């Protein structure tokens, strides 16, 4: 026989449990079904839902035979329900390590770090993030569809490169040359624009670091402008050799900095690159030396990158080289005239007491006497335009860069 005391106790437990479900329902987690990163250039990550927040933890990639590591790339897809309010944090699982020392500043706080979103995986819109005390990036959004892509920068993959190569086929003045393969045997192409025997040979490399697609968009813009300008007298004296995606393996695998053998393609340029561990640099150097042997050495080599500052990094030079300083001042003036460049030309003098950093520009100058610089495109902010960069604006930079080079030489 059920007593009144037992009935009341049972009813209280039922109400307590039901009430708990009601409370949890009122404060339920976002309706996130899955986080997908199993596609080309998708970033290695861990994810979990903590209370009402989706936590994305990014994995680093590592340099060979050092303690160095870096994590700056993200690219993933959230599968959810349209209209769900998502609270999102993006964090590095461990701090970056430079020259054996953990980084103290994980992200650039001066202008903030944007996060790009897309519903078609082609058109990207930048959203601002905020930085939490634990160095996590924080973002709230309400998806307009059941699937939404998020990325560190407007995405550029090998499929985009193939599209570029396809639309240049058969065009006058353009030739695609296979110069070798990556560690994982992906082909490396030089897109050559203009007459191979032209007076002014200019070599451009992009995407040495996988997380930095800005250079790819600049290259697209430069090639589009070359096609538009081809046939004009000013173009007859120029030949552009462009390696559009130096670190293809890293791009495919969604890495940040190194190639799949742990080599940094913008370091160790004081010596010949290893053909097995660093074939991307090995075949690129072979191409440059072939130009020298033919008697058409490059007058300039430009290495395109992204970073949080956006400067042009010049070679280590003698402070008394007045002509060099005047030349670079003229180049800088043209950059500001023809493009949205609005940062600094960074001079490095040999008497500053600092050891030489063997980036591509210093290596090519010291080993071959070639003028070269590293052009870092600001990944967060274009000061001259007062806004977060877009793929189209970087393409405009590429168009302008062509005219900078035509005017300068």
DSSP for 214-250, please give it.
Answer: HHHHHHHHHHHHHHHHTTSGGGGGEEEEEE--TTHHH
Q: What is the CATH number of domain 32-151?
A: 2.60.40.3120
Is it the case that residue 73 has pLDDT exceeding 70? yes
Domain residues of the chain, as ranges?
32-151, 158-408
Cα separation, 85 vs 140, whole angstroms? 7
Is it the case that residue 10 has pLDDT exceeding 70? no
Residue 105 pLDDT = 82
The 10s digit of each residue's pLDDT in 209-242 is 999 999 999 999 999 999 999 999 989 999 999 9
Is it the case that residue 156 has pLDDT exceeding 50? yes
Of all residues in the chain, what percent carry a pLDDT higher than 70? 93
At 28, the pLDDT band (50, 70, 90 cuts) reads: low
**Which of 7-11, 168-172, 322-326 bottoms out in mean pLDDT, i.e. has the lowest?**
7-11
Q: What is the CATH number of domain 158-408?
A: 3.40.630.10
Is it the case that residue 122 has pLDDT exceeding 50? yes
What average pLDDT does this structure show over 377-396?
96
Residue 99 pLDDT = 86
Residue 8 pLDDT = 42
What average pLDDT does this structure show over 339-351?
96
Is it the case that residue 133 has pLDDT exceeding 60? yes
Is it the case that residue 82 has pLDDT exceeding 90? yes
At 29, the pLDDT band (50, 70, 90 cuts) reads: low
DSSP secondary structure, 5-67, as one string = HHHHHHHHHHHHHHHHHHHHHHTPPP-EEEEE--STTPPPEEEEEETTEEEEEEPPEE-TTSS
């Amino acid at each position: 026989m059920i007593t009144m005391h037992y009935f009341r106790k049972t009813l209280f437990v039922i109400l307590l449990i039901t009430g708990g479900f009601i409370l949890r329902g009122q404060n339920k987690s976002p309706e996130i079904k899955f986080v997908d990163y199993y596609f080309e250039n998708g970033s290695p990550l861990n994810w979990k839902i903590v209370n009402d927040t989706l936590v994305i933890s990014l994995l680093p990639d590592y340099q060979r035979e050092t303690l160095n590591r870096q994590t700056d790339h993200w690219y993933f897809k959230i599968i959810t329900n349209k209209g769900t309010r998502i609270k999102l944090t993006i964090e590095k699982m461990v701090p970056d390590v430079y020259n054996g020392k953990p980084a103290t500043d994980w992200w650039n706080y001066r202008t903030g770090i944007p996060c790009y979103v897309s519903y078609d995986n082609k058109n990207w819109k930048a959203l601002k993030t905020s930085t939490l005390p634990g160095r996590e990036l924080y973002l709230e959004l309400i998806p307009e569809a059941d699937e939404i892509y998020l990325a560190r920068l407007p995405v550029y993959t090998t499929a985009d490169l193939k599209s570029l190569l396809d639309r240049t086929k058969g065009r006058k003045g353009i030739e695609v040359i296979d110069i070798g393969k990556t560690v994982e045997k992906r082909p490396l192409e030089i897109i050559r624009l203009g007459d191979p025997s032209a007076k002014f040979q200019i070599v451009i490399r992009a995407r040495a670091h996988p997380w930095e697609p800005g250079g790819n968009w600049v290259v697209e813009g430069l090639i589009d402008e070359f096609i538009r300008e081809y046939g004009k007298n000013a173009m007859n004296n120029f030949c552009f050799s462009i390696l559009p995606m130096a670190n293809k393996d890293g791009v495919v695998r969604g890495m940040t900095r190194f190639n799949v053998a742990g080599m940094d393609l913008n370091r160790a340029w004081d010596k010949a690159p290893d053909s097995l561990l660093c074939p991307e640099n090995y075949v690129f150097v072979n191409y440059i030396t072939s130009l020298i042997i033919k008697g058409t050495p490059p007058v300039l080599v430009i290495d395109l990158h992204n970073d949080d500052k956006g400067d042009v990094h010049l070679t280590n030079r003698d402070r008394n080289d007045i002509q060099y300083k005047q030349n670079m001042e003229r180049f800088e003036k043209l950059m500001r005239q023809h493009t949205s460049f609005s940062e600094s030309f960074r001079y490095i003098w040999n008497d500053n007491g600092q050891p030489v950093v063997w980036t591509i520009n210093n290596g090519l100058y010291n080993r071959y006497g070639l003028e070269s610089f590293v052009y870092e495109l600001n990944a967060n902010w274009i000061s001259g335009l007062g806004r977060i960069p877009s793929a189209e604006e970087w393409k405009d930079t590429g168009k302008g860069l062509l005219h900078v080079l035509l005017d300068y030489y």
